[in-house]
Amino acid sequence: MTMANNKTQCFICNKNKITYPCEGCSQRFCLMDLTEHRQILNNQLHHITNEYNEFKQTINEQKQNPQNHSLIKKINQWEINSIEIIQQKAQEYRQMLIKSSQTCLNDIEMKFKDLNEHIKQLHSENEFNEINLNYLRKQLMKITQELNNPSNISVQQSPQPFINDISIILSRKPTFNKWKQNAITVTGGNGEGKELNQLNRPTGIFINKKKDIIITDCYNHRVVEWKYNAKEGQIIAGRDGQRNRMDQLNYPADLIVDQQSHSIIVADCKNRRVIQWLNQNQQILIKNIGCFGLAIDESGFLYVSDIAKNEVRRWKMGEYNNEGIIVAGGNGQGNQLNQLDCPTFIFVDADQSVYVSDRDNNRVMKWRKDAKEGTIVAGGNGEGRNRNQLYHPQGIIVGDLGRIYVADYLNHRIVRWYEGKEEGEIVVGGNGEGNEPNQLSRPNSLSFDDEGNLYVADGWNHRIQKFEMIL
C-alpha cells in the first residue's frame, strides 16, 4: 500500500516538499522558504512604513514652514537679483547725475563771475540807470532758475521694465473640502442629563489622534472623555456639581489639551479662573477673570478671552503671576474696530494673529500681532441669516488659505469664510433648528480630526455630531 504523495515543487528551491500557499503572490513554498518569504515581505512593509513616515514628516514640515517651499526660494532669488539690478542701475544714474550736475554748476559759476564783474564795473564807473539795473535783475533771476531747475537734467521713467517680471500660475484652483450633510452622533444624543451616556450643553471639544473626544460638558460642570466608539464617557475633571472647590467646576466653557503631559487647561467660567488638571491634581493658573475661550500658540503662549472686560490677554506659559498682555480689545464694550462685545472663542495662527468670535457684535475679528485694532473677517453686517451675516458666532477654526470656519450659533449652522470675501458659505446645518442628522441646535464649537472629518458640539441637542468628509 503506497502513501498519497502530497508534496509539490517549492517556488524558491524547486524541490518537491510539503508546501504552503501564499495568497498574495499565488505561489507555494516549503516551510523554510515560506519563512524567508514572509521575512522579505516584512522588510518591504517596514520600508514602506519608513517612506510613509518620511512623507508625513515632509508634509508637516511644509505646513509648519511654508517659507521653505522650493518655489518660495525661487521667488526670493528673483527678489535678490531684481534688487541688485535696481541698485546697480540706481548707482549708475547717480554717477551720471553727479557728473552732469558738476558740469552745470561750473557753467553757472562762470556766468555768475561775468555778472559780478559787470556789477563791479558799474560801481567803479558810477554810471548806471534803470535799464542797467533791470538787466542785472533779469540775469540774476535767470542764473537762479538755471541753478534750481537745470534744463539739461531730468528724470524720466521708462514704460519698458528692465526687470524680468514673474507670475504665479496655478495649474488647478484649490478645492474646498465638503462634508456629508447627514451627521453621525458620536457622543451623547441620549437627551439632556448627567448620566455617563449623556451631555448637557457641550461647549468646547478636542479630538486627539486616537479620535477620542474630550468635552467641556458645561451645564453638568464637568469635563468628560469619550473613547473612540465608546457608548459612554468618563469624567476627567469636575466632581459633585457646580461649586468652587479645587476639584470642582462651574460652567466650564473651553479647554486646551496637552497630549504630552496628559494635562488639560479649563476655562472655569463662573468660578472666574483658568485651572489646570493633571492626574486629578489641580492648579489655578489665572484668577479673577471672566474667562471663556482658550488658545495656545506655537511658542507656548496662553491666550484667554475675557467676556467681562471685552478683551483677550496673553500669558507666557508658566508665568501667570502678572496681568498678561492685551492682544485684542481692552477699550471697553463697543463695536468699533478697537473694541469687542462679549468675546467668546478664539483661535491663534502661526503669525500670532488672534481671531476672536465677537459674539454680540455678530462678527469675527482678526487682530494681528501688536495691532491697535482689528479687522472684520466674517460677519459684521448685523445679526441675520444672510450669507454675509452671523448671529452670535461661537467656535472658530482657521485653516489653510485663510479659510475661517465659524459655529454660527443662532443660525444653527457651520459656515466657512474665505478671508477678504464679503460673504461665507454654509458647510453643514442651515436647515433650521432641529435634531435630525442634517440639523443643529445652537452649535457651540467645532473641531477636525486628522482625516478632515468635522465634529460639532451641538449644544442644545446635547450631542457631538461627526460630519464625514467627502473624499
- Based on the fold, state whether residues 146 and 257 are members of the same structural domain: no
- pTM of model > 0.75: no
**Is residue 75 one of the residues assigned to a domain?**
no
What was the pLDDT predicted at 1?
41
Residue carrying C-alpha cell 467668546: 344
Q: What phi and psi, each to the nearest 5 degrees, are found at residue 280?
A: 65, 10
- Based on the fold, state whether residues 195 and 166 are members of the same structural domain: no
Structure-block grid coordinates of residue 366: 482678526
Structure-block grid coordinates of residue 222: 464637568
Label the pairing between strands 393-398 and 443-448.
unpaired
Instruction: Find the length of the chain.
Output: 471
Q: What is the mean pLDDT of residues 163-173?
A: 64
Cβ(470)–Cβ(428) under 8 Å? no
**Is residue 262 one of the residues assigned to a domain?**
yes
What was the pLDDT predicted at 85?
83
What was the pLDDT predicted at 409?
97
Q: What is the mean pLDDT of residues 126-143?
A: 76
Give 311's strand partners: 306, 329
Domain encompassing residue 111: 84-170
Q: What is the mean pLDDT of residues 312-336?
A: 94
Domains held by the chain: number:
3
For the cut 80, the answer to whether the pLDDT of residue 53 exceeds it is yes
Give 295's strand partners: 303
Cβ(322)–Cβ(372) under 8 Å? no
For the cut 50, the answer to whether the pLDDT of residue 324 exceeds it is yes
Q: How many CB atoms within 10 Å of residue 107? A: 14
Q: What is the mean pLDDT of residues 210-234?
A: 95
What was the pLDDT predicted at 223?
96
**Is residue 71 one of the residues assigned to a domain?**
no
- Based on the fold, state whether residues 212 and 306 are members of the same structural domain: yes
What was the pLDDT predicted at 3?
45
pLDDT tens sequence across 91-129: 887 887 788 778 777 877 787 787 787 777 777 777 777
pLDDT tens sequence across 79-92: 888 888 888 878 88
- Based on the fold, state whether residues 360 and 440 are members of the same structural domain: yes
Give 256's strand partners: 265
- Based on the fold, state whether residues 271 and 358 are members of the same structural domain: yes
Q: What is the mean pLDDT of residues 133-140?
A: 77
- Based on the fold, state whether residues 379 and 424 are members of the same structural domain: yes
- Based on the fold, state whether residues 166 and 185 are members of the same structural domain: no
Cβ(258)–Cβ(264) under 8 Å? yes
For the cut 60, the answer to whether the pLDDT of residue 226 exceeds it is yes
What was the pLDDT predicted at 171?
52
Mean of per-residue pLDDT scores for the chain: 88
Rounded-to-integer distance, Cα 423 and Cα 390, Å: 10
- Based on the fold, state whether residues 91 and 185 are members of the same structural domain: no
Residue that finishes a domain, picked among 151, 170, 189? 170
Rounded-to-integer distance, Cα 288 and Cα 295, Å: 18
What was the pLDDT predicted at 389?
97
Residue that finishes a domain, picked among 170, 199, 214? 170
| Choice among 19-33, 110-124, 396-410, 441-455 with the minimum mean pLDDT | 110-124
pLDDT tens sequence across 171-185: 555 567 899 999 999
Q: What is the mean pLDDT of residues 302-314?
A: 97
**What strands, in cross-sheet order, belong to the sheet with 311-316?**
291-296, 301-306, 311-316, 325-329
Rounded-to-integer distance, Cα 396 and Cα 310, Å: 17
Which of the residue ranges 10-19, 112-121, 281-290 has the most confident prediction, judged by mean pLDDT? 281-290
- Based on the fold, state whether residues 323 and 368 are members of the same structural domain: yes
